[in-house]
A and B are shown apart, each in its own frame.
Chain A
Amino acid sequence: MNQYDVIVVGAGNGGLVAAALTAQAGYRTLLLEKHNIPGGCATSFVRGRFEFEPSLHELCSEGSREDQDSATKLFQSLGVNVPLLYEDTLFRVIVKGEDGYDVTLKAGMEPFLDSMEEAVPGCRESVKAFFDLIDPIDDAMNTMGDGVPNPVNLLRKHSDFIRIAGHSTEEVMRALNIPQKAQDLINTYWGYLGVPTDDLNALHYLSMTTAYIKGRPSMPYHRSHELSLALVKALQDNGGTVYYNREVTRFLYDGQDAVCGVIAGGEAFWAKKVISNVIPNNVFNRSDNRHISKRSRKLANARKLGMTFVTIYLGLDCSMEELGVNDYSVFIARDRNPRKQFDTRDKFGLYIVNCLNKALPDATPKGTCTLFFTIPIMPGDLPADLSPETYKAYKNDMAEKFIRDYEETMGISVMPHIEEISVATPVTFARYLSTPRGAIYGYANERWDNIIARSVTEAMDYDTPNLYFCGGHYIRGDGYPSGYMTGEMAAKAVIRDLKEGK
């Protein structure tokens, strides 16, 4: 009875898409989730009269090649139709201090370039040239398709692609002579990508940021919980099954070191293929290590865990207008330079404040609004001596520090209006996501572990037979669309291999 074609472990963004697609392809699919609701980070929580969005800042389009982005197309192919509201601005950047600035960047490529030119006169052409590089990237990606690229072909026809893919964002920007201030302005966006732009691969940055600029940021009307429930419906409509409160505690292997099933909730489930939305570290910890290749272990041990956050969720008993907020997304920094922002992250280096009511005017009851603070930090940044007794005070002190700084920066008063407050830290994410150190962004996209290198060595890196991966820790890096797209990649690989009898 517990025999399936495909078992998907974890109902995060990647797992939901993977399971819905294999079910749609006609394979008997079981999705196992340790929580009692789907979504992982894509969820919501209710406090009093507020329903908070815990993680999503905006859905960026993916794949700017065509008008319609690939995540939207993927949703449509699954019959998932979730109403989205779009924002006209990308973000506002406030850099404090003497040589600081306060600039709001507009969404859509032309308005974006106009707002860049206004902020840094003379930068338009070079910034445009930078984002135009998405064309040679798309071109190269197109010819590569699913197969292994022919290196000679690549070198001859796609030299721009190769130059971009081999350098950091800042190296490419310097080559194009983008004025420093313009670079800094755009590069403040690193906070959402997890790696400062002197290290972040230019191709990664370009594909994410171009999609964000061109596609306009959007938000699901009923929080990201709606996206997750819609994907569960797609799974069920295609005959698939989801079991909640069933944490996979063991991965099972056959005589050839191939995964053949899992144990969840004390019960064994068998499958021809297993897709893990769970980070490889946890899979290996729940496997007999004899079945895990030496290379897999070396890779997992060599990797640096990705970014995590302290987040503050506020429900306020005044409207956005009464509060004096008029931006959806504000990046606040002490220094222009992304590396310095990263290095001083314990001293307000960079943080982001979102007001959902700007994007969704009736996101909260009339006369109220919400603020969502995102403070990028790295695993290990929490004080080492944090204990159960001191933890709550730490959270409150962090929240107070950042709310006060935001009040001072914006010249507004937030504190007296707090009706609901919730603060999450890597400890919270360790609890809900069960990732090592509460890492949210999987593995850091540092230079050697950037998405290009990951793509090239994918087959070598993930060598356990019958085991496939998807999610923020996988090759595309973090972000909702990346999660969805890796779910699609895993499903496609599984469907192909099942068809070929592999």
Chain B
Amino acid sequence: MANKNKQLESLSMGGFVKSVAERLRAVGKGSDGPVPDLLSYPENRLAQQLHPHVQYLIVEDIIDHSPDMKSYILAPDLKRGGDQLAWFSAGQYLVLQIALDGKTISRPYSIASSPRDTKDGHYQITVKRVEGGIASGYILDHWTIGTPVTASAPLGDFTYERLRDAKTVIGIAGGSGITPFRAFARAIAQGDEDFKLILLYGSRTKKDAVFSDEIAALAESCDKIQIVNVLSASKAKDCEQGFITAKLIEKYAPKDEDYSVFLCGPQAMYRFVDKELATLSLRQKFVRHELFGEYFHPEQNDDYPQDGKAVYTLTVHIAGQTHTVSCAADTSMLRAMEAAGLNPPSDCRSGRCGWCHSQLLSGDVYVPESVDGRRMADKIYGYIHPCCTFPLSDCELDVPPMPKV
């Protein structure tokens, strides 16, 4: 039996007794029409505009930079219901669905155009032939004006954040890694980004330095942009010669203030420049890498426990079906599943974004530490990112299917 609290007696019991009647009265005042559609709310609409589940695009134009490098101008595919293009932050990428030989594979490509360019109705991506690359070769050889392209919303966090980054950014670009910097430069020139970009652009020869002249032209009318070509295999007027070293970075970096370093390029460039950067003792917050890209040769790591020559069997549960897939020890589980035509989800292919998050039901795997972007609890409960996971035995895994739109 509860103790009676005398002081409570000043409170009526009527409130409780009446509360049901009050509730019924309030409900009675509600409309009996359908509840409002989600997209009638501005918050839901804005979320949808910024992060559409899919973007239906079409190749509107193609720019030839060289036999092995082309830019594709992508516009909304009206026929498939594409309308406006999602706005983005310079530095982000699109994941393109590429149908080849009856399979669908997906690949991330940095957006080389600026956010403002979406108002002119296009994104630009630039594709360079990668030796042995399935997707780049297919695109370069098969895409023509009018090819339909299915893309993700803009993704990725290789973006300029004014509360985090220094006012000056030393951009370090190699090869097709120039593309996000073209977006940064255009966004600065168009007033949508506000920082000083000093771009050190590594190429073999001046001729290989795609977009260099275009960015130099932007720099002429905008003092927040500066581009320096760094040529490894030739000499040219107004260009630095050699590689992007600590010394070179210091030469162009501001002397008495903090600066951020943004890197985008091939893995060999990251390995070289990271060593150089280490000698500059920059705070970690000031050094930002774009996606590492796919991981190859796990067997070359010191902590890899086998010889990397075995071939294992993956039992894959996806979309209510079970498939048996062969996977060489040095091949990521994602690539093996793609080769088998399973169309598993993937966005960044670098271990970071988690879109390929899958459950490992049995078997042993190797995940290189440098690309292990999993959450802590994933490791405890047996979840993996197949894009950066290599089998050490036969394995069984449960993979979410690509969502149907």
Contacts and interface: CB of A to CB of B under 8 A. Distances in A.
Interface of A: 34, 36-37, 44-49, 51, 129, 132-133, 135-136, 139-140, 155, 157-167, 171-172, 175-177, 222-223, 225-226, 229-230, 232-233, 243-247, 265-267, 280-282, 284-285, 289, 294-295, 297-303, 317, 379, 382, 384, 386-389, 391-392, 396, 399-400, 403, 415, 417-421, 425-431, 434, 436-438, 447-450, 452-453, 456-457
B268 interface: no
Nearest to B401: A245
A438 B164 contact: no
B36 interface: yes
B115 interface: yes
Contacts of A434: 38, 44
A436 B86 CA distance: 21
B79 interface: no
Given A297-B30, A297-B31, A430-B41, A157 B1 contact: yes
Contact of B46 (A158, A282, A391): A391
A229 B23 contact: no
Contact of A171 (B11, B87, B345): B11
Contacts of B9: 163
Given A396-B161, A430-B38, 6 more contacts: A159-B4, A222-B376, A245-B400, A427-B43, A448-B19, A453-B22
A457 B24 contact: yes
B35 A139 contact: no
B309 interface: no
A220 B401 CA distance: 30
Interface of B: 1-5, 7-20, 22-38, 41-44, 46-47, 49-51, 86-87, 89, 115, 157, 161-164, 192, 283-285, 319-320, 345, 352, 354-355, 357, 373-378, 380-381, 383, 400-404
B226 to A, nearest CB: 25
A420 B164 contact: yes
A253 B365 CA distance: 45
A399 B162 CA distance: 11
A453 B1 contact: no
Contacts of A51: 375-376
B43 A426 contact: yes
Nearest to B162: A396
* Majority DSSP secondary structure for residues of A touching B: helix
Nearest to A292: B34
A415 B165 CA distance: 10
A139 B383 contact: no
B381 A233 contact: yes
A37 B87 CA distance: 26
Contacts of B11: 163-164, 166-167, 171-172, 175
11 contacts: A44-B376, A164-B8, A165-B15, A229-B378, A247-B403, A297-B30, A299-B27, A430-B44, A431-B47, A434-B38, A453-B20
A194 to B, nearest CB: 17
A140 B2 contact: yes
Given A34-B403, A166-B14, A297-B31, A382 B49 contact: no
Contacts of B15: 163, 165-167
A317 B283 contact: yes
Nearest to A266: B404
B161 A421 contact: yes
B22 A135 contact: no
Contacts of A172: 8, 11
Nearest to B4: A160
A344 B215 CA distance: 47
Nearest to A168: B15
A258 to B, nearest CB: 20
A448 B27 CA distance: 9
Contact of B377 (A48, A225, A265): A225
A449 B23 contact: yes
A443 B15 CA distance: 21
Contact of B19 (A47, A384, A426, A456): A456
A139 B1 CA distance: 7
A78 B404 CA distance: 33
B47 A453 contact: no
A285 B38 contact: yes
Nearest to A49: B284
Contacts of A301: 30-33, 35
B288 to A, nearest CB: 8
B375 A161 contact: no
Given A245-B403, A431-B47, A136 B2 contact: yes
Nearest to B2: A136
A297 B34 contact: yes
B31 A391 contact: no
B8 A436 contact: no
Given A46-B373, A430-B44, A437-B43, A419 B164 contact: yes
A161 B2 contact: yes
A233 to B, nearest CB: 6
Nearest to B25: A448
B38 A436 contact: yes
Given A301-B31, A386-B42, A36 B345 contact: yes
Contacts of B4: 159-160
Nearest to A133: B5
The listed residue with most A CB atoms (<10 A of its CB), out of B11, B13, B32, B319, is B11
Nearest to B19: A453
Nearest to B373: A46
Contacts of B8: 133, 160, 163-164, 172, 175-176
A427 B28 CA distance: 31
Contact of A162 (B16, B20, B47, B378): B16
Given A36-B355, A245-B345, A391-B50, A300 B35 contact: yes
Contact of A418 (B10, B24, B46, B285): B285
Given A162-B13, A245-B402, A438 B47 contact: yes
B278 to A, nearest CB: 16
Contacts of B46: 386-388, 391, 427, 430
A440 B345 CA distance: 28
Contacts of B19: 165-166, 448, 450, 452-453, 456
Nearest to B286: A419
A229 B7 contact: no
Contacts of B51: 431
Contact of B3 (A136, A166, A448): A136
B18 to A, nearest CB: 8
A389 B47 contact: no
B385 to A, nearest CB: 11
The listed residue with most B CB atoms (<10 A of its CB), out of A132, A223, A388, is A388
